[in-house]
Structure 1
Amino acid sequence: MGIQLSQRVVKIRRLDFTSIEERGIFMSEVDRIQNVAIVGIGTQGSMIAFRNALYGKRVTGYGRSEEAIAVCRGKIDKWLAHFVAQGRLDKAEADGVRERIAFSTSLENVCKNADLVVENVPEKIEVKQEVFRQLDELCPTGCFLNSNTSSLLMSDIYKDVSDRRRAMTFSVDHDDPIRNNYLEMMWNPSTSQETKEAALAHYRTLGFEPIVTEREIKGYSINRVWRAVKRECLYLWANGYTEPAEFDRGWMMEWNTNIGPFKLMDLIGLQTIYNIENSYYAASGEERDKPPAKLKEMIDAGHLGMKSGQGFYSGYDTEAGNLEVEK
């Protein structure tokens, strides 16, 4: 595969909803992935970069501009300060995390030493297809390719990728890569057994507990149910049946969670939510799948959720990102 293999015993430091806990869990893993390239360092990409570096991976993030890189650095610095203040990391550990993250505006430089590329560009099929076409050309022979997508199929994304590389692809859907151990992972018709084993080993060493969808389907498994909840929430809100805070209050009491659907949509980003809903609408052609015009009006007004400071809720610290949820 072109990647140095080493057998080691990894102590998993698992993240729960509010803290890093030492649970004394040991797993024997084949540690194939040490150098991780993050292509797209927005809301999700910055959190994924942070999580990988937190667990000892060397990370290089691709940003289209120095401004985008500065925003990502600011978020990571704020998260590290938060972890130190709460005693989850000491200063030396936080400095180590920071030192393991580098950035570049050159996609070639970001990919040249990568064992794994995690793509986090907008949820638009043509954008992801173009990125994967470039990754196929730029990445080392043994590099795995992973799309962080909620609603698009890898078999559509990799249409311009070589057959050899297709075997090294898989999809992941993150909920909250900093505060949550949960993620969904999905294989596609080309995913090799070697890729499956490497992907599971990597994400487990990051403290995640992957939920695997064995066959490709739009929206994975659990995320398809979340999508149905999200669609109904948007319908109720857009048609004046409920207010976001009131609905979330009831949801959190009923399901014993610390975040409701509307605040979760703010965390994910409303432009991303809109793109996902449009993806389902394009696939079905059914009017009920069309995202409400009221959501588009919010986005056009610059209310993008936590990343802009205002969405269904207001007053977010745009640098703190999802740490706001803990308040």
Structure 2
Amino acid sequence: MKQLSVIGTGVIGNGWIARALANGWRVAAFDPDPKAEARTRAFVDNAWPSLEKRGLAEGASPDNLRFATSLEAAVDGADLIQENVPERLELKRSILAQIDAAAPPEVLIGSSTSGFKPSDLQQGCQHAPGRVIVAHPFNPVYLLPLVELVGGEATQAEHTERAQALYQAIDMRPLVVRREIEGHIADRLMEALWRESLHLVNDGVATTEEIDAAVVYGCGLRWSLMGTFLTFHLAGGDQGMRHMLEQFGPALKLPWTKLEAPELTDELIDRVVEGCEHQAAGRSVSELDRRRDDFLVELLGLVQKYWPEAEGLEGRI
């Protein structure tokens, strides 16, 4: 039974823990917060019904989780190490350097960072810096299969190949990013939509609920199956993308987009918070988590049904 070692047990770290346990791995976790273990076990309990619906691997059990009393003890015996500490570069460098010093040089170290480049994270690692890569997942990690893999200046092809195999072993779909860039791929796309959404709220064009409805009942439904480019390819009719670009391309020059995020004023914060609280309608975050998870379990089944070739996606990227 393979072991995933998780350093940092916030939402993302706990998501990795639940996914690994569901795929029959042992998990060793470390977090200096004395309340971390209780939170993690409650998180796994809340996620487990959805994981059961998706299907558990042989030997899968929450009992395969242990909390270590130190970082060094957590990485002992690891087949893969996942770092998930807060998004502060110096903190991540420090923790990754400690992991690098404690773990055997052949053990891969993935960072869940959503923004930093791996070459920046590798600085300070003296033991085997090339095995420190970005392995960026998406929340909820225990259900969403995409993981962006990004190598740094010290990373060799063999590190990336081993990373692909390891993350596939916990039922992830690796996307190897061709070159390192802040924010990788998916977050840059999401940030563009998030930025425009904030402008629409700030300018009084729409409420948070109206913007979410535009995504849920419009573009979001298509994106679940085809993504952006193939969706626009269909918009061109029988001639596909070429006709779409010829017909709608000039509109790209129109000043529709706001390239910079709006200033996060108190007024904008209040509008966003009040809008989200209205949408939540008194439901707790854990209730919303379960509703989202039930939906994703069914949606993932549909995606696999209508896009079976995605099983081999990682081999074509």
Structure 1-normalised TM-score?
0.69
Report the Cα offset of residue 244 of structure 1: 1.6
For residues 69 and 220 of structure 1, the distance between their equivalents in structure 2, rounded to whole angstroms, comes to: 31
Give the partner amino acid of 1:292: L
Matched, 1:293 2:265: yes
For residues 39 and 318 of structure 1, the distance between their equivalents in structure 2, rounded to whole angstroms, comes to: 24
For residues 296 and 112 of structure 1, the distance between their equivalents in structure 2, rounded to whole angstroms, comes to: 47
Change (3 A) 1:318 1:205: same
Partner of 1:168 in structure 2? 131
For residues 96 and 162 of structure 2, the distance between their equivalents in structure 1, rounded to whole angstroms, comes to: 20
Kept in 1, the 8 Å contact 2:51–2:143? The answer is no
1:323 aligned residue (284, 290, 294) = 290
Kept in 2, the 8 Å contact 1:252–1:259? The answer is no
Give the partner amino acid of 2:10: G
1:48 aligned residue (13, 16, 24) = 16
For residues 267 and 128 of structure 2, the distance between their equivalents in structure 1, rounded to whole angstroms, comes to: 38
Partner of 1:187 in structure 2? 151
2:165 aligned residue (201, 206, 222) = 201
Partner of 2:211 in structure 1? 247
Give the partner amino acid of 1:214: R
Partner of 2:87 in structure 1? 123
Kept in 1, the 8 Å contact 2:122–2:130? The answer is no
Kept in 2, the 8 Å contact 1:144–1:195? The answer is yes
Report the Cα offset of residue 51 of structure 1: 0.6
Kept in 2, the 8 Å contact 1:116–1:144? The answer is yes
Kept in 2, the 8 Å contact 1:147–1:171? The answer is yes
Structure with higher strand content: 1
Structure with higher helix content: 2
Kept in 1, the 8 Å contact 2:97–2:124? The answer is yes
Report the Cα offset of residue 46 of structure 1: 0.5
Partner of 1:107 in structure 2? 71
Change (3 A) 1:39 1:290: farther
For residues 38 and 285 of structure 2, the distance between their equivalents in structure 1, rounded to whole angstroms, comes to: 13
1:136 aligned residue (100, 117, 130) = 100
Question: Alignment partner of 1:118: what SS?
Answer: strand
Structure 1 gaps of 5+ residues are 1-32, 261-286
Kept in 1, the 8 Å contact 2:121–2:132? The answer is no
Partner of 1:80 in structure 2? 48
Report the Cα offset of residue 235 of structure 1: 2.7
Change (3 A) 1:141 1:182: closer
Change (3 A) 1:228 1:207: same
Kept in 1, the 8 Å contact 2:83–2:110? The answer is yes
Question: Alignment partner of 1:110: what SS?
Answer: helix
Change (3 A) 1:140 1:180: same
Report the Cα offset of residue 170 of structure 1: 1.2
Kept in 1, the 8 Å contact 2:117–2:182? The answer is yes
Kept in 2, the 8 Å contact 1:238–1:292? The answer is no
For residues 296 and 105 of structure 1, the distance between their equivalents in structure 2, rounded to whole angstroms, comes to: 43
For residues 87 and 169 of structure 2, the distance between their equivalents in structure 1, rounded to whole angstroms, comes to: 27
Report the Cα offset of residue 60 of structure 1: 0.9
Report the Cα offset of residue 259 of structure 1: 11
Report the Cα offset of residue 88 of structure 1: 4.0
Change (3 A) 1:154 1:321: farther
Structure 2 gaps of 5+ residues are 225-258, 296-317
For residues 58 and 101 of structure 1, the distance between their equivalents in structure 2, rounded to whole angstroms, comes to: 6
Matched, 1:65 2:28: no
For residues 110 and 296 of structure 1, the distance between their equivalents in structure 2, rounded to whole angstroms, comes to: 42
Report the Cα offset of residue 239 of structure 1: 4.1
Kept in 2, the 8 Å contact 1:65–1:105? The answer is no
Change (3 A) 1:313 1:125: farther
Give the partner amino acid of 2:130: A
For residues 213 and 53 of structure 1, the distance between their equivalents in structure 2, rounded to whole angstroms, comes to: 27
Partner of 2:61 in structure 1? 97
Kept in 1, the 8 Å contact 2:199–2:261? The answer is no
For 1:253-275, what per-residue CA distance to the aligned partner results, in whole angstroms no more than 9, with x for missing partners?
A: 21244999xxxxxxxxxxxxxxx
